[in-house]
Structure 1
Amino acid sequence: MNEQQAIDRAEEIIHQAVDVMSPKPTLERTGPEAIGPCIARDDHGPDDRLQVTLFYKLTGVPPSEAKNLVLQARDAWLKQGHKYNSSDEKDMSGPFPWVSMRTEPDDFWMEGITGVLDRAKGEGLATLKVRSPCFLPPGKASAASAADPAALRTPQADDPATRRVLGHSSRIYDALRVGSAPTQAGEGLSTVRSEARASVHHTWSTELLSQGETVRALARAQAYFQSAGWSVRRLPAAHEGIPALVAGHPEERTVAQIAAGATGAVRVAVTTPVEGPSYADV
């Protein structure tokens, strides 16, 4: 997939919802540029991969119709065979519903959101968002596809690097102080082998959080890294204006990435070299 193909597919998904709506809204493009960095990398691609994210406000209809537009988007996407990322019946039955869905098998993620304009009157503004999977810019080769077919494998449970990466994941979980979600496709443990070295990679996601909960959880994670002596860098906001975190262990070459996801979950990725120190030395 390239940038134009990602944009075309995202716009197709938007129109699958909008073209069947009644009353018919006007699409008003908003938000950041369509192309941007892939922050929460969980499939071992290189650092320069990209993502497309499209935001549209649905304008030109009465604010009282915002709820119905989001519900119509959900129904249209379900009719297309798309799947829920999450479903909260309380959210969907309230005056300001929100839905998170994904396409299969190409894994575009979309949201229908009802922004609050007047809570007392039940008036809102419907917004649709679609985010593409990560893809490489022109002329770049995937690190995973260029490697030996056996480059990706499940590491051994008693491997020192596995114990090390799981130990770090556990401490990050404790620092975030929020629940974890069931393991999703593409998450879990794997070993990545390149020409230079092999690394163990562990990815997981939290439960769905509000924006405020996400901000506080990331602040707790940053405080933990700083207290433990990690070097910490805040990356440009990837979702809802919330910066992502990248932290490096001072002795190991272990790297942790924490970023707010499009669905409301926080995504965590920890990578450590196989030839690093033993778990007892961490």
Structure 2
Amino acid sequence: MNLRRIITTAALLVMTTVLTACGAQEGGQKTGGKASKKVTMNEKQAIDRAEEIIQQAVEGMSPAPTLERMGPAPVGACIARDDHGPDDRVQVTVIYKLTGVPGPEAQNLVRQARDAWLKQGYTYNTSGEVDWSGPFPTVYMRTGSDDFWMDAVTGVVDRAKGEGIASLKVTSPCFLPPGKASADPAAFEAPQADDPATRRALGHSSRIYDALRVGSAPTQPGEGLSTVRSEAGTSVHHTWSTEPLSQDETVRALARAQTYFQSAGWRVRHLPTHEGIPALVAGHSEERTVAQVAASTTGALRVAVTTPPVNGPSSADV
């Protein structure tokens, strides 16, 4: 594998795995300003449904690809919510890279995934035609009945030859596992002040605050610091909001945030929202930290930073 292919593969991995946390369009924004659905399922049901949606996309593909699982564990906490739901809601994200096919077929696989999902009755969650000439042409879609969101993305390896790689991602709605009614102290705790992941999360939040150059709002229910334990270790989440902004102020603040992320070496992705102002999701390739900045239904910008376990797998291991 040549250097360009290695770099592009790593970029695609970052662009798909940065969405493992609950983002603006995949949390409170999903319902276009309406109250979020109260979803109850268990992790197995969510993973099985996500896998089913993946299989619906690849069944009948020609040439038939091999599915290579990407990213960290599929179950993670929901953050950056607008509805201030209980902190023990979780979310499933399943990502596969499509391998074993010639590079020129990558875009075709994405188109086939789109067509297969359309046949299932699933719909676009964006308007307008995909820019197939861009570096990461992506199809964004959602199921109607159970509110799973998915995308199919192409990463270009060799533009001159039209070669690339493709991946599929399915994300469940934020859900409350059966029997859960409030935060579980065994899973969600106040982080230690001297914990490296906590310091990292707070440091990133501080730099984002400086970049936005707008005032912060009082802490809302469901915001602040929390930790989540998993088999991989303990992740730290920090969420907060700005004061309500006008649309022009929101656009300018998001532009400043994007400039900061890019200058600091983060990979930035724009996500469509029902509010019409794309959210920012940024991934730090070395730390595997995820940052999200999105306009909420109140006019405030919601900011969320998720840092993985310091002793967890490195970006080269996922």
TM-score by length of 1: 0.56
Detail structure 1 runs of 4+ shifted over 6 Å in the superposition.
180-183
Q: Of 117, 131, 140, which residue of structure 2 is paired with 1:77?
A: 117
Letter in 1 for 2:82: D
1:242 partnered with 2:296: no
The match for 1:206 is: 277
- Contact 1:96–1:124 (CA under 8 A) maintained in structure 2: no
**Deviation digits for residues 136-192 of structure 1 (CA, Å, limit 9, x no counterpart):** 13421279xxxxxxxxxxxxxxxxx9xxxx9922167252248x99973xxxxxxxx
In 1, the alpha carbon distance for the partners of 2:293 and 2:158 equals 34
The match for 2:253 is: 175
Higher RCO (CA-CA < 8 Å; seq separation 6+): 2
Letter in 2 for 1:17: A
- Give the 5 Å matches for 1:42-121: 42-92=82-132, 97-121=137-161
Cα gap change, 1:111 to 1:177, in 2 (>3 Å): same
The match for 2:228 is: none
In 2, the alpha carbon distance for the partners of 1:129 and 1:76 equals 14
**Percent identity between the two aligned chains:** 62
The match for 1:139 is: 179
What is the number of residues matched between the two proteins? Answer: 186
CA shift for structure 1 position 20? 1.8
In 1, the alpha carbon distance for the partners of 2:135 and 2:302 equals 35
In 1, the alpha carbon distance for the partners of 2:76 and 2:276 equals 21
TM-score by length of 2: 0.50
**Structure 2, gaps ≥5 residues long:** 1-40, 184-217, 219-240, 257-269, 295-299, 306-318
**Structure 1, gaps ≥5 residues long:** 144-160, 185-203, 219-235, 247-254, 261-282
The match for 1:127 is: 167
In 1, the alpha carbon distance for the partners of 2:67 and 2:137 equals 19
**Deviation digits for residues 203-250 of structure 1 (CA, Å, limit 9, x no counterpart):** x573266xxxx55xx9xxxxxxxxxxxxxxxxx96xxx532479xxxx
CA shift for structure 1 position 43? 3.4
1:257 partnered with 2:302: yes
- Contact 1:45–1:142 (CA under 8 A) maintained in structure 2: no
- Contact 2:87–2:182 (CA under 8 A) maintained in structure 1: no
Q: CA RMSD in A?
A: 3.6
In 2, the alpha carbon distance for the partners of 1:79 and 1:36 equals 30
Higher Rg: 1
Match of 1:20, SS state, is coil
